[in-house]
Amino acid sequence: MPDLYIDADACPVRNEVLRVAERHGLTVHLVSNRGFRPSQSPLIHNVMVPATPDAADDWIAEHIAQGDICVTGDIPLAARCLEKQALALDSKGKSFTEESIGMALAMRDLMSHLRETGEAGGGGPGFTQADRSRFLQALETAVQTAKR
């Protein structure tokens, strides 16, 4: 059975992850450098990391294994998970793959450069109910794939 690793700081789909995990009996690692309300569920492991850059990413990358699933908006973390043959998806349901991660990293770097030079603004479109539904479907598909 796969474990679920959640880059929990600013993750808008924690509740959806927990529902899917409970339905399938999967262990969830909520990794954060901020405090959050502990769960009574034995399936949920709250992991507090130091409030240093990339501490949550480093913890996830160190512990995730082949066939596990990571939910993150951090593209470099997604790449590190893919290197360990884990699945990675963002909170809008986009799956990162070996074929797409290179372009995603390049676009991230380009947009960062454009923001630094003032040629592009920050932020993107808001999180919608359609995004939440797409995420649920993508997570269910990822769980089914990982269980095979």
pLDDT of 123 reads 62
HSE value, Cβ hemisphere, 13 Å, CA-based, for 21: 25
Contact by Cβ (8 Å): 91, 12:
yes
**Is 70 exceeded by the pLDDT of residue 78?**
yes
Token pair for residue 42?
A: 């034995």
Give pLDDT tens digits for 108-137.
555 565 667 777 666 667 788 999 999 999
Q: What is the CATH number of the domain that holds 128?
A: 3.40.50
Q: What is the pTM of this model?
A: 0.84
Domain that holds residue 80: 4-147
Domains in the chain, number? 1
Amino acid letter, residue 32? S
Give pLDDT tens digits for 33-43.
987 777 788 99
